[in-house]
Chains A and B, each alone.
Chain A
Amino acid sequence: MQYALMFYAEPGMEAGLSEAEREAVQAEFLALADDPRRVGGARLQPVETATCVRVTGGRTLVTDGPFADTKEVLGGFAVVEAADLDEALEMAARIPAARFGGVVEVRPVVRR
């Protein structure tokens, strides 16, 4: 099965980390990127770069900022191939955001 691992964290989370912690985070992201079970995904630029688009009544409305006004914002996602939910959860637990006060949401991907 394929799962999306979406990680959320408070903006600026990395600023509070020590040099060594930052390096560890970097290494963990690289490890995830190299994991053969990862089939896709991306880390996202900071939330200040977000732009929202809505179309109502044929008009396109563009606004600044993220969709929801929550403390934690989507930092990126990975799509992985895993045998079952437990395997996906284990991969999710290795995403640094899970450890530094953020959260990783795991959802199965719709099969085509």
Chain B
Amino acid sequence: MLEEVFRNEWGRVLASLVGFLGDFDRAEEAAQEAFTIAAQQWPESGLPDNPGAWLVRTARNRAIDRIRRERTLAQKIRLLPVPEAATMDEFDDIELDETVIKDERLELIFTCCHPALPLEGQVALTLRALGGLATAEIARAFLVSEETMKRRLSRAKAKIKATGIPFAVPDAHRLPDRLDAVLAVVYLIYNEGYAGRGDLGAEAIRLGRVLSGLMPDEPETHGLLALMMIHDARRRARFAGEDLVLLEDQDRSLWDAPQLAAGQAVLERAVALGGRGPYVVQAAIASLQTRERVDWARVAGLYRRLVELTGSPVVRLNHAAAMAQAGDPAAALRTVDALDPELDGYLYLHSTRGELLHRLGRDDDARTAYRRALELATSTPERRFLTRRLEEI
């Protein structure tokens, strides 16, 4: 239970400390200390009324003590004063109103996902600072050593400090671009989880929930959350043993019905806010695809909109697949053929092409396309799926 409280409070406590101390490392150190003290005291004393406020107050006091000690030490050995010394007098006057601790997690998210940081640093820092994951956990999730992850995190923190990346929610005119960057990081974390690391999927959904709670008027934050929840609801049905199961063949009783319904409710909220952005559209597509009878013409229409929004060739490919499902494989094939040079190295171009050719009765060409897809397959489930398909044709 204590772990659950810690998990929920970490981001808020750390954000408040970064805001107060203006320094990531100090904030993290102080938060860590406060959580350690809590772990010792709370099992005996019971939870305080407001655990978050307790943790922030304890961490602040520790940080102030530490800064004082450093200042005294610096004076004793006649070094230059530590930079923080100048602000020490301000600390003495601070009274923490325990009932209202300002939630500064949004500031923290925008700092962690600043585009001046390398993407892998943004991802790691977001998981560490907001998700409260330990460095070792993040390292495991990304299949790198703990040492590597530690370096990645400290490089990111060092750049924040050295270059003056602000701890602030961007101004209105910068917000759209910067919000895109934040959403991209959360979605990237989710996709890492979708590729097989379940914890990251759950973590991304937690982050998505925090974000849509903090920015309730931004449709795209709800769109992203809905997209992740709807996909996640089908997680258990995507594999049968080692085999990939296509959407139309999935056992719907394995779907997480409450999660699906909750995801769809979030989507409705996004649409009600006027959301027509890429995440809202993707969530709407995912939602339509969970219906008993999929309205492929509508799905194709949404993909067309997504092509307009993103210009992505992969989205064009999905659009083509939806057109085929809606009953026009010939038009779909024309679209796919037009994408060939651009996406030649992309497995799903060739598997989609194979499927379309098969439907049009051109089985020899279909087999050639599936063989090309098989050459490009890297994972066992993909290889098994394509081999099976080749045998069936």
Contacts and interface: CB of A to CB of B under 8 A. Distances in A.
Interface of A: 1, 82-86, 88-90, 106-108
B214 interface: no
Contacts of A84: 164-166, 168
Interface of B: 114, 116, 162-166, 168, 170, 174
Nearest to B160: A85
Query: Which label, helix, strand, loop or mixed, suits the secondary structure of the A interface?
Result: mixed
Contacts of A106: 163
Contacts, number: 27
A45 B228 CA distance: 54
A106 B163 CA distance: 9
Nearest to B167: A84
Contacts of A1: 164
Contacts of A107: 163
A88 B174 CA distance: 13
Contacts of A89: 116
Contacts of B168: 84, 86
B166 A86 contact: yes
A22 B168 CA distance: 37
A1 B163 CA distance: 9
A108 B166 contact: no
A83 B167 CA distance: 12
B170 A108 contact: no
B174 A108 contact: no
B19 to A, nearest CB: 14
B170 to A, nearest CB: 7
A88 B325 CA distance: 50
B53 to A, nearest CB: 29
A86 B174 CA distance: 9
5 contacts: A82-B164, A84-B166, A85-B116, A85-B165, A86-B168
